[in-house]
Amino acid sequence: MTKRALLFSYFLVLFLPLSAQTISISTDHTQLVLQVNSQKRLCQTYLGERLSEQTDLSQLEMPQAGLSSSCIRGLEVYPVMGTEDYYEPTFEIHHADGNPTSVLKYVKHSQQGNETSIVLRDEVYPVDVTLYYKVFEREDIIQQWAEIRHEEKGKVYLGRYASSMLYFEAPNYYLTEFASDWAKEMQMLDQELKFGKKVVDSRLGTRANLMAQPFFEVGLGGPVRENEGTVLMGTLGWTGNFRFTFEVDNQHILRVVSGINHDASTYLLKKSDTFRTADFFFTLSQNGLGEGSRRFQRWMMNHQLHKAKDDRMTLLNNWENTYFDFNEEKLVALFSEAKDLGVDLFLLDDGWFGNKYPRKDDHAGLGDWQVTQDKLPQGIPYLVKKAKENGVNFGIWIEPEMVNPKSELAEKHPDWLIQLPSRDTYYFRNQMVLDLCNPKVQDFVFSVVDDLMQENPEIKFMKWDCNSPITNIYSPYLKENQGNLYVDYVRGLYKVLDRVQAKYPDLYMMMCSGGGGRSDVTGLRYFTEFWCSDNTDPIERLFIQWGYSHFMPAKAMCAHVTEWNRRASIKFRVDVAFQGKLGFDIGLKGLSNDDRQYCREAIKEYKRLKEVVWSPNLYRLVSPYEGQHCVVQRVNDSKDKSIVFAYDIHPRYGESLLNTRLQGLDASAKYKVKEICLMPGKQSWLPCNNKVYTGDYLMKVGIKVTSTNDLVSHIIEVMKE
Ligand code: DGJ
């Protein structure tokens, strides 16, 4: 062949689309290859590190799956219930004639820009499933969802509607899940996955992540490690019930099914309507969890988090300081404390509303969003004005999806409440959930924000709380279609949040759910930040923040300094909160002068360094799960600024202290190491303080940043010379 012909054939391979039957989906480092087999079934033939030569795709073999080697299907991308597959399916449909299954065959696909869509069709029933893949190349994240549609006359029900099925082949598989409870969010638990199934799911509806968080990690070929090994990290973007199923089959293939939890949610899908599943996002890191976390954080900052590029406000909250016991005078005094502290915003929490049933505690008033006249006679406008006079912005707490039975709202609209018609009602925190499937209720929930904003256009921030799961699962609005409730509730919520965002694009909002009961990445398309936990004991927070940092950027993680664990100094408490989106929820009058001074200085330092604190380049250097210390590091993109956060939790007697090796620096550059945020009058005793090192030295030899004392913390600035 002439040189020219050779070159031509090379370009042909490179630029011509692959055959209609091979679909390649890739990011900078990961590749997913799908192929259509002789039975027109769509199968996964590769998922792993991106192949260098696209010509190699033709070498991929169609794996056999299922019960025997004669199985016709291969590793089917969207397997259905009730046909050949023995394992957990992604899709289940009940046709109008009662037939409980479908066979989905490839029809066509298209690839435009970073999006791929693949149409599958049942040849017997008018049912289409379109699979979507969106790649975020630079961040190495793949997004998957499906759209389901039918043209049948009569009632068609969806029994299952997962977003994704992925297959892996490795010698062994280790799952990390993030178990939770109130004040115990993101407890990382590991286990080996052997033959059979492990399900991680939620069925709490509104406060969906109370017991389990919608994230997982799987070590492929060994337990997950921070800097080595292949690891799959995934999350479902859905502010409601989710389900991840990990199943190791008879051929030792791991199947990972992710989607909305279909339990109690057999969905009536109307003819010609499109059912869009939730979004599943995953990354496949070849260099351990650290790299996967940096990818997720970068992706959140570039594509997902609401107002990700905008600043965030430090704040003083009154919840743990006053609880429900406040009045105008007390609040105005707190505004001046906020000013003295140097924060940007004062956040008024629960307890400002209700007249017939004033919100004196959590037994009454939810739903009646009018200011309590005898508590705050001059209303919210007066508070906004007074805050402004003190040089701070004003923010306010709402819980608009909920209602106390003791409220005017519940009396007026009993048909707006989710409750079983024929059974005793179970109350969680003395409250019930409004039926967001109902458009009238959606209007009402929107009006809670809208009325406040209309009256007080200068409100800058809302804390949107959600303290109850859906406990009495019956929607008066949906009547006989109760299976749609959990899904339509979330869709109703998104409709409201879409309206809020469209009308008030500058409003900052915290997603809160009795702590971290809501923490999904699609919720954060509407909220600028989320409340990680009511547990602000700094030791517990080291674990909770460590957990969330696997997926979430620091800018979105609200971290407040409170009275939890007074054994820890104010410095230790502030230094832990400094890692996230810093706030205070504490009575400042109770602090010593030195402690108050420390807080003021720390806020100034935080404001000076927040771009580094919020950088997605996170290096987790020493894990709190080892028990004694915790060290994490952030580096900005240009590698000229870095911050090291070091905490001694409970060092062992006689423990020999190791150097901590930094990461992510420029090896050839010189850096000055300086401890900042010192208590008034105190000097740093770190041996590395004020010294200059090469990046190479800091990363290979390291520095001592831990001690043998309980509850000691250091914030260390590492600046390029
Ligand atoms: C639960 C939240 O997590 C708290 O921060 C506080 O806002 C209370 N609700 C108020 O009722």
SS (H, E, C) 7-37: HHHHHHHHHCCCCCCEEEEECCCEEEEEEEC
> 429: CA distance to ligand 1 center in Å?
11
- 544 vs 265, 328, 361, 463, 553, CA distance in Å? 31, 35, 28, 20, 13
Longest dimension (CA), the chain: 92
394 lines ligand 1 (CB under 6 A): no
399 lines ligand 1 (CB under 6 A): no
Instruction: Give the mean pLDDT of 555-568.
Output: 97
pLDDT of residue 65: 53
pLDDT digits (tens, 9 = 90+) for 572-585: 999 999 999 999 99
What gap in Å lies between CA 394 and CA 409, rounded to an integer? 26
User: What's the chain's length in residues?
Assistant: 721
Mutate to test the pocket of ligand 1, among 347, 363, 465 (most ligand atoms within 8 A of CB): 465
Closest CA to 25 of 118, 128, 91, 151: 118
Strands 618-622 and 629-635: antiparallel
CA-nearest residue for atom 5, ligand 1, is 534
Three-class secondary structure of residue 265 per DSSP: coil
Asked if pLDDT for residue 558 goes beyond 90, the answer is yes
Asked if pLDDT for residue 12 goes beyond 70, the answer is no
What gap in Å lies between CA 479 and CA 476, rounded to an integer? 5
What gap in Å lies between CA 447 and CA 528, rounded to an integer? 20
Instruction: Give the mean pLDDT of 479-491.
Output: 97
Q: Ligand 1, closest atom to CA 362? A: 11
pLDDT of residue 63: 66
Instruction: Give the mean pLDDT of 293-314.
Output: 98
Closest CA to 395 of 449, 457, 460, 439: 460
CB-based burial label for 58 (10 Å; 0-12, 13-18, 19+): exposed
Give the domain ranges of the chain. 3-304, 315-527, 617-720
pLDDT digits (tens, 9 = 90+) for 599-639: 999 999 999 999 999 999 999 999 999 989 999 999 999 99
> 262: CA distance to ligand 1 center in Å?
30
Any bridge partners for residue 461, and if so which?
Answer: 395, 508
Beta strands in 444-546 (DSSP E): 459-464, 508-511, 529-531
pLDDT of residue 74: 72
Domains 3-304 and 617-720 share a fold: no
Total Cβ atoms within 10 A of residue 323: 13
534 lines ligand 1 (CB under 6 A): yes
**What percent of the residues of the chain are helix, what percent strand, and what percent coil, each to the nearest 5?**
25, 30, 45
What gap in Å lies between CA 107 and CA 120, rounded to an integer? 5
Closest CA to 574 of 709, 463, 716, 713: 713
pLDDT of residue 64: 59
> 430: CA distance to ligand 1 center in Å?
14
pLDDT of residue 1: 40
Q: By the 8 A CB rule, do 312 and 555 touch? A: yes
397 lines ligand 1 (CB under 6 A): yes
pLDDT of residue 61: 82
Three-class secondary structure of residue 348 per DSSP: strand
Q: By the 8 A CB rule, do 431 and 413 touch? A: no
pLDDT of residue 547: 98
Residue-by-residue DSSP string for 596-642:
HHHHHHHHHHHHHHHHHHT-S-EEEEE-GGGSSEEEEEEE-TTSSEE
Three-class secondary structure of residue 453 per DSSP: helix
Q: Ligand 1, closest atom to CA 349? A: 7
CA-nearest residue for atom 10, ligand 1, is 350
What gap in Å lies between CA 584 and CA 376, rounded to an integer? 23
Total Cβ atoms within 10 A of residue 245: 20
CA-nearest residue for atom 3, ligand 1, is 514
pLDDT of residue 82: 85
531 lines ligand 1 (CB under 6 A): yes
pLDDT digits (tens, 9 = 90+) for 643-679: 999 999 999 998 999 999 999 999 999 999 999 999 9
pLDDT digits (tens, 9 = 90+) for 259-284: 999 999 999 999 999 999 999 999 99
Asked if pLDDT for residue 10 goes beyond 70, the answer is no
Three-class secondary structure of residue 212 per DSSP: strand
Q: Which single residue is written with the structure tokens 């409340």?
A: 531
pLDDT of residue 84: 79
State what percent of residues in the chain have pLDDT above 70. 96
Any bridge partners for residue 561, and if so which?
Answer: 584
CA-nearest residue for atom 4, ligand 1, is 514
167 lines ligand 1 (CB under 6 A): no
Asked if pLDDT for residue 2 goes beyond 70, the answer is no
- Token couple for 335: 């505004």
317 lines ligand 1 (CB under 6 A): no
Mean of the per-residue pLDDT values of the chain:
95
CATH code for the domain defined by 315-527: 3.20.20.70
pLDDT of residue 19: 52
- Token couple for 86: 């023995």
Strand order in the sheet with 629-635: 618-622, 629-635, 641-648, 712-720, 670-676, 691-694
514 lines ligand 1 (CB under 6 A): yes
349 lines ligand 1 (CB under 6 A): yes
CA-nearest residue for atom 2, ligand 1, is 514
515 lines ligand 1 (CB under 6 A): yes
CATH class of 617-720: mainly beta
Beta strands in 202-250 (DSSP E): 212-220, 230-237, 242-248
CATH class of 3-304: mainly beta
pLDDT digits (tens, 9 = 90+) for 223-250: 999 999 999 999 999 999 999 999 999 9
348 lines ligand 1 (CB under 6 A): no
Q: Ligand 1, closest atom to CA 397? A: 7
Q: What is the pTM of this model?
A: 0.96
CB-based burial label for 559 (10 Å; 0-12, 13-18, 19+): buried
What gap in Å lies between CA 491 and CA 568, rounded to an integer? 43
> 440: CA distance to ligand 1 center in Å?
26
Closest CA to 443 of 504, 510, 492: 492
* Beta carbons within 8 Å of 638's beta carbon, 6+ residues apart: none
> 465: CA distance to ligand 1 center in Å?
7
Q: By the 8 A CB rule, do 599 and 575 touch? A: no
